[in-house]
Structure 1
């Protein structure tokens, strides 16, 4: 039975960020779905619970084996949502947060919670360099134009389950990442069973979608 992929985007993004990757996965025979996280969007709502519920619903809607790809912030709701789901064959954390029980994005970074968690977090002055440094300019410009608002609340909320404790997991370190420091990626990768390294910036699914789909295909066949 062919493995299906559930793709979970990071902060400020929408499901369409994986459109090019999904085309390549389809060419390799893999069905895929890209989850819409409610805390990111033109009208973002909720916190970690709502994002995790969206991920869990997407996984449960698929019959057969599932591989979940979590990018960046997406690692947090995936860690919460996939716990206890028997059809999840593997978790793949792509330059992603891998929290343990009781951790949040803020605790992982070792910083205090903000006074106002019911707020939006700005993307910064140069998202092109931060997120898409090696992506061809026209595509990177479109990706920047597609970014949306992001709530702070899910970054504050702490996970209450850790799916990587029971589900085989792989961490993909992006070695040229300007968003998530490689040293932090390496620290979080200690939670996973295996580690891969790729010489890209933060968004290889846009930089080299065919090559990245081949990596996912290889990992899913193990």
Structure 2
């Protein structure tokens, strides 16, 4: 069984696994074992269960890193026995019994709130659900600031919505109460109020928090810095200086 954790990168709402691509490439180049599974954005409980299933199929320890809504997902999925640490990247560090809406509600709205679009989707055997996405015209500035314009335009028309139900769904567990954590605050974030990130990280007692003058998609704009926080967490868990996994 390997002792170097497998890194599982968890994307957030309005994005997909490709949002982690620059960081994924750097980690693979350094010799780390990486997984970037899809998050289906159907409910916090279902999404966390899906990620937990991926984690539990990994032989050996796992370090979970979650961006944005992915932070809420790893807060719950991180209760898996083989998860050894959590890295929050511009993410939500929910408490047990707390929802995204409750955590956000304690702070002024970001620019995202005024630029959300609500679209019904069919639910077999039940009432239609509601998907939440970002207005396409607003997406580049609100969600993808700092990303090249052409890339931002592509991301805007290929976003993965989050069901409205997930915003009010409480976290069943807060894994940070048992697992060590690290955080990145994007101080130029227009999607999540940076104060939401700071508050959640402080409450969770994360081992260290890095502030970057970066937008929400910090993995795209500052991949080296994000990768360094992840590999630094692995080095700290190992109790030694940071080294490549190769």
Q: What SS is found at the alignment partner of 1:221?
A: helix
- Tell me, yes or no, if the aligned pair for 1:117 and 1:152 is still in contact at 8 Å: no
If the length of structure 2 is used for normalisation, what is the TM-score? 0.79
Give, in whole Å, the separation in 2 of the partners of 1:28 and 1:56.
25
For 2:22, the equivalent position in structure 1 comes to 20
For 1:72, the equivalent position in structure 2 comes to 68
Report deviation, 1:117: 9.4
Report deviation, 1:148: 2.4
- The answer to whether structure 1 residue 196 and structure 2 residue 206 are counterparts is no
Report deviation, 1:149: 2.5
Query: How is 1:109-188 mapped onto 2 (pairs within 5 angstroms)?
Result: 109-110=104-105, 118-124=129-135, 125-188=137-200
- The answer to whether structure 1 residue 10 and structure 2 residue 24 are counterparts is no
- Tell me, yes or no, if the aligned pair for 2:16 and 2:159 is still in contact at 8 Å: yes
For 1:103, the equivalent position in structure 2 comes to 98
Deviations 1:27-77 (Å, cap 9, x if unpaired)? 1111111121122xxxxxx42221011110111111122111111111112
Report deviation, 1:139: 2.7
Report deviation, 1:123: 1.0
Q: Structure 2 unaligned segments of length 5 or more: list them.
A: 107-126, 237-246
Report deviation, 1:141: 2.7
- Tell me, yes or no, if the aligned pair for 2:8 and 2:63 is still in contact at 8 Å: yes
Q: Structure 1 unaligned segments of length 5 or more: list them.
A: 40-45
Find runs of 4+ consecutive structure 1 residues off by over 4 angstroms. none
Report deviation, 1:136: 2.2
Give the number of aligned pairs.
212
Larger Rg over CA atoms? 2
Give, in whole Å, the separation in 2 of the partners of 1:109 and 1:52.
20
- Tell me, yes or no, if the aligned pair for 1:117 and 1:156 is still in contact at 8 Å: no
Label 1:134 to 1:168 Cα distance change in 2 as closer, same or farther (>3 A).
same
For 1:43, the equivalent position in structure 2 comes to none
If the length of structure 1 is used for normalisation, what is the TM-score? 0.87
Report deviation, 1:188: 1.0
